[in-house]
Structure 1
Amino acid sequence: MRVVLAPDSYKDAVSAEEVVRALRRGVLKACPEAVVDSCPLGDGGEGTLDALLVSMGAEECMSTVTGPMGKSRIARWGWVADQKLAIVELAESSGIQLVPLAHRDAMKASTYGLGEVILDTLDHGAERIILTLGGSATNDGGAGMLQALGVRLQDEAGAAIQPGGEGLAFLAELDVVGMDSRLADVQFEVAVDVSNPLCGENGASAIFGPQKGANSEHVAFLDKALYGFAEIVEAALGTNFAKAPGAGAAGGVGFAAMTLLQATPRPGIEIVMELVGFEEKLAGADLVITGEGSVDRQSLSGKTPVGVARAAARTAVPVVLLAGRFGEGWREVYQIGVTAAFPLADQAMGLEEAMARTSELLEDRAEAVIRLYGASRP
């Protein structure tokens, strides 16, 4: 029996690598002779970098950068030297998890540190850069990133605008003359796990601003600032990706990347599966086990288990999905390739207990799945 383990992380509980280790123990407990192919994945959100470091064997690099609220921090990124490929996870430099709940401020948070990481990858000789945009603390339209890369963003007095979405509202002129010339030779891909446009009722500010500390007045202010930013970019460059799916990712970094870095936006799980050669791993597999913390109708927009199921369906490999929680509309996963889905909990329990026992529960469910699968085989 050959089993491919291809989960995402279970947010705030265990990383994708830890999930794989727990699942592997369960599989081998039920079938010691099983061949297990471990392939931790991510969909562009937090934890994608860790999954790729393991699955690709990429080198882990460190950069000292400016965090979202202005404090210096260390940001990790991945480097694949023989491909001149850099993997940059926004959450490492500008992530919401870096800011305590009481101090989250979408008006002030900046993506400047993301730009600093990109500069470090250029110093390494990067020719291809993959940006994963999930989990941002920011709503600055990527303005901070652009400033770090040499783009001049000025107010009416000719001074550089202040950090954050609040500063963006005072933007009067954009000048790309000083933009790092090395960027012209780099292929950028943006791994997104949302399809929101930059502005409007489904835009970055309205949908994601509140979780970043924005109240209703802030949301309206920030949305107007992003709209003005898009108009100024269009006047300067003649292009406007404000309505493009994914433009609103990471508080508008998707828009900035598409417009000024000529980045190609793609569902994060597609990029990740391509990087790790997931299609090749499916060849000869008998079963795939995938999962993540929560599965519902929104998962169909491009979350890891759905991407795995769609890929496996093309080769007729059965897929078992293990989730910590099933929400409204989760049964729709059966329509895109999931063979069976099971919750982790083995009894009624609170969230705190469930999270503490995640590895144990994953191991137990994997063992049960393999025993059932084995019993069904002739």
Structure 2
Amino acid sequence: MKVVIAPDSFKESLAADQVAKAIHSGFMAIFPEAEYHLLPIADGGEGTVQALASSSDGRIETVSVTGPLGEQVQAKVAFSNDGKKAFIEMAEACGLHLVPAHLRNPLKTTSYGVGELILYALEQGAAELIIGVGGSATNDGGMGMASALGYQFYNGSGKLLKGRGEDLFHAVSMSEAKRDKRLDNVKITVAADVENPLTGNNGATYVYGPQKGLPDSNLADTDLAMGRFYQMSCTSLGKEVAHLPGSGAGGGMGAALLLFANAQLKKGIELVLEQLNVKEICEDADIVIVGEGKIDGQTIFGKAPAGVAACAPSKAKVIAICGSVGEGNEALYDHGFDAIFPTIPALLPLEHIMGNAFVNVERTARNVAALLRKERD
């Protein structure tokens, strides 16, 4: 029996490789004789750097960059074995996990560090960049990132803006005079973990702003400010990007990389699946296990579990093991999923659930395996 274990991370509790190990441990207790393939997956958010670096036998370096609140943070950037390709994860520089819960407010955060990671990769001689744009604490439209690359944005009084979320309200003009010219000679691919447009009810601000600490009372004004910023920027640079699927990823980072760095946009999960040869590995699998922190109706829109499920052969059972299930999860049964198992054991304090995530996943995986063993016997 061949079992492919290909989960995404459980946000803020377990990295994807740890989730895979927990599921493997649970299954091994029931199916010690099975053939296992552990494939930690990412879809453009946290874990993308690790997943892609592993696929290319690359190296990972740690760089000091500007964090979401303006402080210095240690961010990882990966390079392929030959050094020509760099893998950057937006969340490394401005991820939600870098901002304490009581300080979360995307009007006060910046993506400046992402631009610094891009510059570092260019300095190391990378000719191709793959940038994952999920899991951020920002909703600055990528203004911070663009500022690090040399773009300058001004308010009505001609004052240079720093590139935080609140600066979207004040930007009325821009200059590309100091733009880093090395951007002309590098190929950049954006690995987006969502398909949301930049603005509107399904855009970056309305869908993801509240998760990052943006009060409901600020949603409408912030969405309008994002739209005005891109109307100004797109007009200035003669390129329209705001309507493209995925432009709203990473608080507008998808649009920013398209506009300010001439990047190409690709679904993060498709890029990772391709790099890891997941379809080839799954083609003769009997069981494919996927997972992420929360399974809900959004999972089918470019998220890792749905991407892996699409790689499974028709004869295989596709099982999702997740932290919790949310509204709309029943849609997954029409997209190749056979069963969904949440791992939260009881009504417990959040810190207790997060701290025991490995054990919870391991226990759930063992229970799933026991059920499958009884069916096979």
Q: Same fold (TM over 0.5)?
A: yes
Letter in 2 for 1:287: I
With 247-256 and 26-35 compared, the bigger mean Cα shift is at 26-35
Letter in 2 for 1:76: K
**Uncovered stretches (5+) of structure 2, i.e. residues with no partner:** none
Relative to structure 1, the CA distance from residue 327 to residue 137 in structure 2 (aligned partners, 3 Å threshold; closer, same or farther) is closer
Q: Residues of 2 paired with 1:301 and 1:366: CA distance?
A: 25
Is the contact made by 2:295 and 2:329 (CA closer than 8 Å) also made in structure 1? Answer: yes
User: TM-score, structure 1 length as denominator?
Assistant: 0.90
Q: Residues of 1 paired with 2:370 and 2:219: CA distance?
A: 51
Letter in 2 for 1:270: E
In structure 2, the residue matched to 1:350 is 348
In structure 1, the residue matched to 2:26 is 26
Q: Residues of 1 paired with 2:170 and 2:361: CA distance?
A: 50
With 257-266 and 153-162 compared, the bigger mean Cα shift is at 153-162
Is the contact made by 1:40 and 1:52 (CA closer than 8 Å) also made in structure 2? Answer: no
CA-to-aligned-CA distance 1:124-150 (integer Å, 9 cap, x gap)? 222221221122222221111111111
Relative to structure 1, the CA distance from residue 67 to residue 339 in structure 2 (aligned partners, 3 Å threshold; closer, same or farther) is same
With 368-377 and 325-334 compared, the bigger mean Cα shift is at 368-377
1:90 shift after superposition: 1.0
With 2-11 and 152-161 compared, the bigger mean Cα shift is at 152-161
1:42 shift after superposition: 1.5
In structure 2, the residue matched to 1:269 is 269
CA-to-aligned-CA distance 1:167-189 (integer Å, 9 cap, x gap)? 23332332223222221222222
Letter in 2 for 1:340: A
Pairing 1:1-378 to 2, within 5 Å after superposition: 1-54=1-54, 56-82=56-82, 84-216=84-216, 218-313=218-313, 316-344=315-343, 348-350=346-348, 352=350, 353-377=352-376
Relative to structure 1, the CA distance from residue 4 to residue 182 in structure 2 (aligned partners, 3 Å threshold; closer, same or farther) is same
Q: Residues of 1 paired with 2:235 and 2:189: CA distance?
A: 25
1:65 shift after superposition: 0.9
Is the contact made by 1:40 and 1:55 (CA closer than 8 Å) also made in structure 2? Answer: no
**Number of positions where the alignment pairs a residue of Structure 1 with one of Structure 2:** 376
| % identity of equivalent residues | 39
1:54 shift after superposition: 4.7
SS at 1:245's partner residue?
coil
Q: Residues of 2 paired with 1:355 and 1:216: CA distance?
A: 26
Q: Residues of 1 paired with 2:55 and 2:81: CA distance?
A: 15
Q: Residues of 1 paired with 2:242 and 2:299: CA distance?
A: 24
SS at 2:293's partner residue?
strand
With 58-67 and 214-223 compared, the bigger mean Cα shift is at 214-223
With 208-217 and 68-77 compared, the bigger mean Cα shift is at 208-217
With 326-335 and 154-163 compared, the bigger mean Cα shift is at 154-163
Relative to structure 1, the CA distance from residue 224 to residue 361 in structure 2 (aligned partners, 3 Å threshold; closer, same or farther) is closer
Relative to structure 1, the CA distance from residue 338 to residue 242 in structure 2 (aligned partners, 3 Å threshold; closer, same or farther) is same
**Uncovered stretches (5+) of structure 1, i.e. residues with no partner:** none
SS at 2:227's partner residue?
helix
CA-to-aligned-CA distance 1:214-243 (integer Å, 9 cap, x gap)? 335543443233222212222222211112
SS at 2:288's partner residue?
strand
Is the contact made by 1:61 and 1:77 (CA closer than 8 Å) also made in structure 2? Answer: yes
Letter in 1 for 2:117: V
1:333 shift after superposition: 1.5
1:107 shift after superposition: 2.4
SS at 1:120's partner residue?
helix
Letter in 2 for 1:32: P
Is the contact made by 1:41 and 1:52 (CA closer than 8 Å) also made in structure 2? Answer: no
Is the contact made by 2:23 and 2:362 (CA closer than 8 Å) also made in structure 1? Answer: yes
Query: In angstroms, what is the RMSD of aligned CA positions?
Result: 2.4
Letter in 1 for 2:12: D
